[in-house]
Structure 1
Amino acid sequence: MNYSKIRGVIAAMVTPLDDVTGEVSFDGLSKLLNYLVEGGVHGLFPCGSTGEGLLLSKKERMQIVEFIVREVKGKIPIIVHTGSIHLDEAIHLTCHSRDIGAQGAALIPPYYYGMDEAAMENYFGTIAASAPDFPLYIYNIPGNTKNTVSVPLMLNLSSKYSNIIGLKESSMDFMNFINFQQVLPLDYTILMGNDAQIYSSVLMGGAGAISATATVFPEKVVEIYEQLQNGNQSQALQAQDTVTKLRAIWRKYPPIAPYKIALRLKGINVGLPRLPLRTLTSNEINRLISDLESLDI
């Protein structure tokens, strides 16, 4: 089964929420989509970690993806995060993304409970068999899920399910990327999930990145990839240096909030993080502004 290979910078989108009600803001989502498309990203990744996907209801996740597919109109590919601890929900979300015209789905392992490889293979395999004609990407993020996607597990999945065609590698350990790259099929799509390692992973043959920084500064992250494609390694490395510094800034604050505050400063109101996540205090906002101004971007 042949699938078009997704390459480049895929923006891990925040989910805009209404300041008052906390519900999904489709007006904010429309503005964010226009901003990202105009910023040159090569794809979109809604409802993932940056998108607070696990804090959204199944209905909200479906409505968000339906809206994005309608708005984007095929201009760039959409990979939807459809993972859930509930197997039936993951299947439903995956099939729904397929049916409305997304270009693929990404799945974290089931979380909270420790899972052995047999359990994880059954989980991913059941979903793959339920949507056999739809491209799937395994999303390795052990720091959040507790369960690690190993090289043997990926080899088993890739050999048994032709629609499991790629991997988002967010373990933060670059040796994992290297190990996957060395043994998985040459046509496999390995996307870097650590914004500090985009340059290195693309140099070593990676397909690109799913980037949280790209939801705020899309042009700067895209510059890494496109300068490398044009053979301009020094310019790409300079862009990577800026993105690495941005990543360090985000990590100084509570999750999600700094992306949303930075977008608001750029004129795109995406609301506050959903509880139990918190927004930033006024002192933290002032520090964030100072941090960003120090990079002169």
Structure 2
Amino acid sequence: MSKALCGVFAPVVTPFKSDLSVDADLFVRHSRWLMSQGAGLAIFGTNSEANSLSVTERQQLLERLVQDGLDPARMLPGTGCCSITDTVALTRHAVDIGCAGALMLPPFYYKGVSDDGLYRYYAEIIARVASPKLKLYLYHIPAFTGVPITLTLIERLIKDFPDTVVGIKDSSGDWSNIEAMLKAFPGFAIFPASESFLSRARPLGAAGCISATANINPVAINRLCAEWDQSNGPQLQQQVDAVRQIFQSYPMIAALKFATAHYSGNPAWDIVRPPLTALPAPQKTQLLEQLQHIDFAMPGLKD
């Protein structure tokens, strides 16, 4: 079993134009900035509004990133859909274009499904993509999907597909679950969804983190991921926690986009696709005051 990826990945926020079409130029610009700050690209994640994007939009955006010279070896696109055929199309496309892996939600419409049913779903995807290049990362986010990925299922998938199922993102927010996975599956690439777990997870072998706030604080999170065991580790953890705690007290996607709009000087970033809504004005004011209080900045973002 190989640990294909490590480090910090951002579920890249997706910019939209006033007509709600995707702003591909702005998407490339932000992705390039993130990579220049040391972050990999977990495009089409939860905070990317991925499930508000069509299969075609996702494929076109991925192609645009690669055409513009961004390295697919540091890309982990989200490909999981409710439909097997959509998931296969996105996953095969990611493999063919050279992405390092595919981050795959379980099918999330039907609730109360069994581990056997989820196993069949993932096994079917693997069989249909039919590529030794496929590196599949499971995506455990039960608060959104209502479909947990259990340790029993992980064990079964690793056993049957050791060269394909190589990692997981755990967005449960449950340290006991993260810790149990780290202890049960050494060598499996486990990414907590919050940098707040890094100082506890890295000593147990966590590969890094895939964090929403890597969109706006990539350098500090990347430094913590690399230096957690140094003398300045506790201070680095405290600094990223301060930023994380501010953002997670707001609707995360709207807050990330507003901050990006503010620090880039581009108000287009404030647009979200329905049914989401932008932060109301009082929350925008409050968020900026909190960020100014901790001297927060996004250097190099503004053109």
TM over 0.5: yes
> Structure 2 matches for 1:166-205, cutoff 5 A?
166-184=167-185, 186-205=186-205
**2:280 is equivalent to residue 286 of structure 1:** no
TM-score normalised by L of structure 1: 0.92
Shift of 1:268: 5.9
Q: Secondary structure at the match of 1:276?
A: coil
Task: Check whether the contact 1:32–1:268 (CA below 8 A) recurs between aligned residues.
Answer: no
Q: CA RMSD in A?
A: 1.7
C-alpha distance in structure 1 between counterparts of 2:125 and 2:289, whole Å: 45
What is aligned with 1:236?
A: 233
What is aligned with 1:34?
A: 32
What is aligned with 1:217?
A: 217
C-alpha distance in structure 2 between counterparts of 1:73 and 1:283, whole Å: 37
Q: Secondary structure at the match of 2:279?
A: coil
Q: Secondary structure at the match of 2:190?
A: strand
Structure 2: tracts of 5 or more residues without a match: 297-303
What is aligned with 1:274?
A: 273
Task: Check whether the contact 2:55–2:86 (CA below 8 A) recurs between aligned residues.
Answer: yes
Compare 31-40 and 66-75 and name the one that shifted more: 66-75
Q: Secondary structure at the match of 2:47?
A: coil
Q: Which amino acid aligns with 1:127?
A: I
The superposition leaves residues 244-273 of structure 1 with CA deviations (integer Å, 9 ceiling, x where unpaired) of 222222222224110011111111633411
Equivalent in 15, 19, 22 of residue 21 of structure 1: 19
Shift of 1:4: 6.0
Q: Secondary structure at the match of 2:138?
A: strand
Task: Check whether the contact 1:213–1:243 (CA below 8 A) recurs between aligned residues.
Answer: no
Give 4+ residue runs of structure 1 displaced > 6 Å after superposition: none
Compare 72-81 and 155-164 and name the one that shifted more: 72-81
The superposition leaves residues 52-97 of structure 1 with CA deviations (integer Å, 9 ceiling, x where unpaired) of 0001111111111112223344275101100111111011110011
C-alpha distance in structure 1 between counterparts of 2:265 and 2:99, whole Å: 25
Equivalent in 26, 50, 62 of residue 47 of structure 2: 50
Shift of 1:3: 5.1
C-alpha distance in structure 2 between counterparts of 1:74 and 1:254, whole Å: 31
Task: Check whether the contact 2:15–2:26 (CA below 8 A) recurs between aligned residues.
Answer: yes
Task: Check whether the contact 1:3–1:135 (CA below 8 A) recurs between aligned residues.
Answer: no
